[in-house]
């Protein structure tokens, strides 16, 4: 919805945004493909070819969340517009709006998550064969797909992080419930009792610290927009699922065998937190981008620090009677210079 509000034409908004906002229909986002490494979206190769007044789509998609919902009427498809001859690898892709009942679409199956059946709201495995849509279905224009997915992903990630904080909070409540279950009370002398108090305390600290990271990103999005908040969003995206998995795992441990079966929501909470480390791009990609941005932020101050360090090394060597010149990998005593 956010993406249509931001990038859709008036006609697209009238056709899709209004019923989406009213909850009458749902949409699914079709980017990831089974035959390629999709975390680098430049690899996406679903073919979107202009043919007269239409576009014709051919490709295979999976992990299309929400595609199994009976009210899902709109696919938001990312692919390569083959007629776009751009040297820029970020300028070859486009996004097209496709009615789910367009001829040529086959929904093969709904994918499970750790064996959990997410159907009917599951993640679709879908192929598009000669799927024909009017040219007016393109969003923003040919070659502007990356602009759209980058604008869309930021706010989406913060929603995932918020929900995952909720999952961790719920796991902590279950852990506290188990520790206070009088039927299965731990004897006060039982060493595990102290361990559990420590787990509860650590979990509270970690949840609240992660919550602050999410709040920080949300404030930055509100004040300066999603693009300016990419650093803060990446921090929340990486930190929150790690924190939640740790907290949920402690709760599972506190329950013993009961923690791994269907008698509590803990296994489901674990699965929902685990996927956040992959959905919307794996941790590794966010960490690389965050590391790069953090380095760039220091700018000229990097050279300043290195110059200072070099001067300080020389000063300390000089105090010890050595000169600054390096010869064969070693420092030469001042007397020999
Ligand atoms: C529950 C769920 C819901 C999803 N919903 C949607 C959806 O609605 N629409 C949609 O289009 N997609 C969706 N996805 C797919 C998701 O976006 C992709 O799985 C994700 O982008 C990773 O792509 P991939 O699976 O092809 O992994 P690959 O690209 O094959 O990566 C595999 C692994 O390689 C490593 N790796 C990748 N790149 C780097 C790098 N640069 N540096 C170091 N290591 C790296 C990481 O460990 C990564 O996990 C969903 C996935 C899940 C699990």
Domain ranges of the chain: 2-143, 147-297, 305-336
Structure confidence by residue, pLDDT tens digits, 194-215 = 889 999 999 999 999 999 999 9
On whether the CB atoms of residues 242 and 278 are closer than 8 A, the answer is no
What does each C-alpha distance from 198 to 38, 209, 251, 252 come to in angstroms? Answer: 40, 16, 12, 15
Going from the Cα of 281 to the center of ligand 1, the distance in angstroms, rounded, reads: 5
Whole-number Cα distances in Å, 165 to 82, 160, 184, 192, 334 = 42, 9, 28, 26, 60
CA distances from 159 to 77, 130, 164 (A): 21, 35, 9
- Select from 37, 282, 286, 291 the residue to mutate for testing ligand 1; criterion: most ligand atoms less than 8 Å from CB: 282
Tell me, in angstroms, the distance from the centre of ligand 1 to residue 51's CA: 32
On the question of a common fold for 2-143 and 147-297, the answer reads no
What digits encode the pLDDT tens for the residues 296-336?
A: 888 889 999 999 999 999 999 999 888 765 555 555 566 66
Average pLDDT in the 92-121 region?
93
133 phi and psi, to 5 degrees? -130, 155
Residues pairing with 59 in the sheet: 128
For the CA of 32, the closest atom of ligand 1 is 11
State the average pLDDT for the chain.
Answer: 90
Q: What pLDDT, on a 0 to 100 scale, did the predictor assign at position 275?
A: 95
pTM for this entry: 0.87
- CATH number for the domain whose boundaries are 147-297: 1.20.140.10
pLDDT reported for residue 178: 93
How many Cβ atoms sit within 10 Å of the Cβ of residue 320? 9
Cβ of 278 less than 6 Å from ligand 1: yes
Ligand 1: distance of its center to the CA of 159 in Å?
Answer: 18
Average pLDDT over residues 132-138: 97
- Answer whether 60 contacts ligand 1 (Cβ < 6 A): no
Q: Measured from the CA of 280, which atom of ligand 1 is nearest?
A: 17
Is residue 32 lining ligand 1, measured as CB closer than 6 Å? yes
Region class of 74: left (phi > 0), else alpha (psi between -120 and 50), else beta: beta
Q: Dihedral through CA 33, CA 39, CA 41, CA 42, nearest 10?
A: -110
pLDDT, tens digit, for every residue of 146-198?
A: 988 877 666 677 889 999 999 999 999 999 999 988 888 776 655 567 889 99
Task: Rounding to the nearest 10 degrees, give the CA dihedral for residues 63, 56, 16, 68.
Answer: -30
Ligand 1, atom 12: nearest CA belongs to which residue? 32
Whether 282 is in the pocket of ligand 1, judged by its Cβ within 6 Å, is: yes
Q: What is the mean pLDDT of residues 55-73?
A: 96
The architecture (CATH level 2) of 2-143 comes to: Beta Barrel (2.40)
284 CB within 6 A, ligand 1? yes
Q: Report the atom number in ligand 1 closest to the C-alpha of 66.
A: 8
Atom 30 of ligand 1: nearest residue by CA position: 37
Phi, psi (deg, nearest 5) at residue 93: -105, 155
């Amino acid at each position: 919805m956010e993406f249509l509000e931001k990038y859709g034409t008036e006609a697209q908004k009238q056709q899709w945004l209004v019923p989406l906002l009213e909850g009458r229909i749902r949409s699914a986002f079709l980017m990831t493909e089974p035959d390629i490494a999709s975390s680098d979206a430049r690899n996406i190769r679903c073919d979107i070819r202009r043919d007269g007044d239409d576009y014709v789509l051919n490709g295979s998609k999976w992990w299309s969340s929400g595609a199994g919902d009976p009210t899902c009427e709109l696919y938001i498809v990312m692919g390569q517009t083959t007629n776009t001859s751009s040297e820029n690898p970020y300028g070859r892709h486009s996004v097209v709006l496709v009615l789910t009942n367009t001829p040529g679409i086959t929904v093969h199956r709904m994918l499970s998550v750790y064996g959990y059946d997410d159907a009917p709201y599951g993640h679709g495995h879908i192929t598009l064969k000669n799927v024909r849509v009017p040219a007016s279905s393109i969003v923003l224009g040919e070659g502007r797909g990356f602009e759209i997915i980058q604008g869309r992903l930021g706010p989406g990630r913060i929603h995932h992080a918020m929900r995952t904080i909720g999952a961790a909070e719920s796991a902590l409540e279950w852990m506290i419930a188990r520790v206070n279950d009088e039927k299965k009370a731990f004897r006060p002398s039982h060493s595990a009792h102290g361990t559990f108090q420590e787990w509860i305390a650590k979990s509270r600290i970690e949840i609240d610290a992660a919550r602050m990271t999410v709040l920080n990103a949300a404030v930055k999005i509100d004040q300066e927009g999603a693009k300016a908040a990419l650093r803060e969003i990446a921090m929340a995206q990486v930190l929150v699922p790690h924190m939640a998995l740790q907290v949920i795992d402690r709760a599972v441990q506190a329950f013993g065998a009961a923690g791994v079966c269907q008698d509590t929501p803990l296994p489901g909470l674990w699965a929902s937190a685990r996927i956040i480390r992959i959905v919307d791009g794996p941790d590794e990609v966010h960490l690389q981008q965050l590391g790069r941005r953090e380095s760039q932020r220091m700018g000229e101050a990097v050279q300043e620090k290195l110059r200072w360090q070099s001067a300080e090394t020389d000063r300390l060597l000089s105090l010890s009677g050595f000169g600054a010149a390096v010869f064969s990998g070693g420092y030469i005593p001042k007397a020999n210079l």
